[in-house]
Amino acid sequence: MKVLVAVKRVIDYNVKIRVKPDHSDVDLTNVKMAMNPFCEIAVEEAVRLKERGVASEIVAVTIGPKAAQEQLRTALALGADRAIHVQTDERVESLGAAKALAKLVEEEQPGLVILGKQAIDTDNNQTGQMLAALSGLPQGTFASEVVVDGEKVQVTREIDGGLQTVELTLPAVITTDLRLNEPRYAKLPDIMKAKKKPMDVKTPDELGIDVASKVKRLKVEPPAERQGGVKVDSVDELIDKLKNEAKVL
């Protein structure tokens, strides 16, 4: 079974985000970039499926600028067999990414598509669901356990009330949650081998799609700095502060 894994280039989660002085976007100058943590979990799950003999080939995919090939090489070092880069300098939103992935699903005919449930830069949690809709595939989101059994896959998913297990007929789309696995680190020999693994570069035009954003970004603001807490001497004083200072009552 072929497994298609989508990865995204984001700002490293350890980096403190800075907003540009004109509030037009996040400042990426000299900022360390990395693979989205949820995408790392998706790659790890695909590699584990291959190690168990379930998957025969892992194809890593990303949509973004030329620099995003760095994250594809990371996926190759972690165990992917080959990579596809849909290269564009456009700001790609969830729908654009889903359209590109849907075309690649049509071309590659994978038995399983695995994505992170969301990216830590936009937190939209949309691409997997949109891909399933565009491709007409069943979906299992927020997966904390994945068990492939023949032509079926059981996905245990995290919901507000606890855990829910759904059974899907392959091919299917799965989005990964934090507790699905613990991603491995790429070893130096694997990093060197990844440089020789095949990477196919395509453009949105070649796929016959438009990935340009349909959303206009008006302004980017940093979150308000957290104020220090205060102690109150009575319930009446607490209610007064909540009502007149915090204005939440």
CATH number of 166's domain: 3.40.50.620
> Looking at residue 145, what is its pLDDT?
95
Domain presence at residue 249? no
232 within domain boundaries: yes
Sheet with 139-149, strands from edge to edge, namely 162-169, 152-159, 139-149, 172-176, 112-116, 2-6, 57-64, 82-87, 199-202
**Residue whose token pair is 């995003």:** 68
Q: Specify if 61 maps to a domain.
A: yes
The span from the CA of 36 to the CA of 52, in Å, is 25
Task: Answer yes or no: is 54 within a domain.
Answer: yes
204 within some domain: yes
> What DSSP line would sit under 13-52, residue for residue?
TTSPP-B-TTSSSB--TT--EEE-HHHHHHHHHHHHHHHT
pLDDT at residue number 188: 94
Is 186 part of a structural domain of the chain?
yes
Domain count for the chain: 1
Q: Which domain holds residue 128?
A: 2-244
Pair of tokens at residue 117: 């449930």
Confidence of residue 205 (pLDDT cuts 50, 70, 90): very high
Mean predicted confidence (pLDDT) in 193-214: 92
Distant-in-sequence, close-in-space partners of 98: CB < 8 Å, separation ≥ 6: 126, 127, 130, 131, 133, 134
Assigned domain for 26 exists: yes
Q: What is the per-residue pLDDT across 32-52, written as a single tens digit (0 to 9) for each?
A: 999 999 999 999 999 999 999
Distance CA 119, CA 114 (A): 14
When the pLDDT of each residue in the chain is averaged and rounded to a whole number, the result is 93
Give the pLDDT of residue 160. 87
What's the confidence (pLDDT) of residue 45?
Answer: 96
Quick one: pLDDT at residue 29?
85
Task: Please indicate, yes or no, if residue 239 is contained in any of the structural domains.
Answer: yes
Is the confidence at residue 214, as pLDDT, over 90? Answer: no
